[in-house]
Amino acid sequence: AAGVIQSPRHLIKEKRETATLKCYPIPRHDTVYWYQQGPGQDPQFLISFYEKMQSDKGSIPDRFSAQQFSDYHSELNMSSLELGDSALYFCASSLGFGLAGFSYEQYFGPGTRLTVT
Amino acid sequence: DAKTTQPNSMESNEEEPVHLPCNHSTISGTDYIHWYRQLPSQGPEYVIHGLTSNVNNRMASLAIAEDRKSSTLILHRATLRDAAVYYCIRGQAGTALIFGKGTTLSVSS
């Protein structure tokens, strides 16, 4: 079965640079969530989208922005990178309360490991 | 604020049942109880969820207390592949997952 795809899988950036992470949800899934997991930490919710609109916001820094496109893929844009942004970034997808049905489960991708030097 | 409390770690032997407890004493009437697990170097994986009644699926069982202030995830026969961090999360359907400090399960052969 198709899973959530994230690219790139690994990314190395220097301080003050920008980075763009991409997420391709499971086909037919209309909801995307972004989570950040620092070293030795538990995942933290950043932001979510349903049907291309922001649906919820967590502890996402102002330096970060995200959007969901017409094909439901999502991008997380990170600017003025700091050393503390080094983390695993997970994207998850699910079916929202749409006509296609609803899923309680969130399906996570393999993550993008961002290293800021 | 994760709003659930779990033991930091638990140990089990292969092929034995494992009972992972979770306290959520301030749970609201519309909150579901979700369990996810995270294997090393992987993204979290859905295990099971429930609202009021006990639930079973191919991976595990979820026993929910009558007052809903606690629940227990039951792995019927632990395998080495079940070694992971298990997260108990309360929240409404279709909302973001707020992870707390899960339980690290170790399984010995």
pLDDT single digits (tens) A104-114? 899 999 999 99
Which amino acid makes up residue A96? G
How would you write the pLDDT of chain B (109 residues) with one tens digit per residue?
Answer: 668 999 999 999 999 999 999 999 989 888 999 999 999 889 999 999 999 999 999 999 999 999 999 999 999 999 999 999 999 999 988 889 999 999 999 999 9
Residues in contact with A94: Cβ distance below 8 Å, sequence separation at least 6, in sequence order: A29, A31, A33, A103, A104, A105, A106, A107, B94
Residue contact B43–A110, C-beta within 8 A: yes
Pairing outcome for strands B18-23 and B84-91: unpaired
Q: Are the C-beta atoms of residues B45 and B38 closer than 8 Å to each other? A: yes
B63, with CB counted inside 10 A (0-12, 13-18, 19+), is: middle
B107: its two tokens: 């399984």
How far apart are the CA of B89 and the nearest CA of chain A, in angstroms? 12
Q: Which of A87-91, A92-96, B62-66 is least confident?
A: A92-96
B92: closest chain A residue by CA: A104
How far is B96 from B41, CA to CA, in rounded Å?
21
pLDDT for the residue numbered A100: 57
Chain B contacts of A31, Cβ < 8 Å?
A: 94
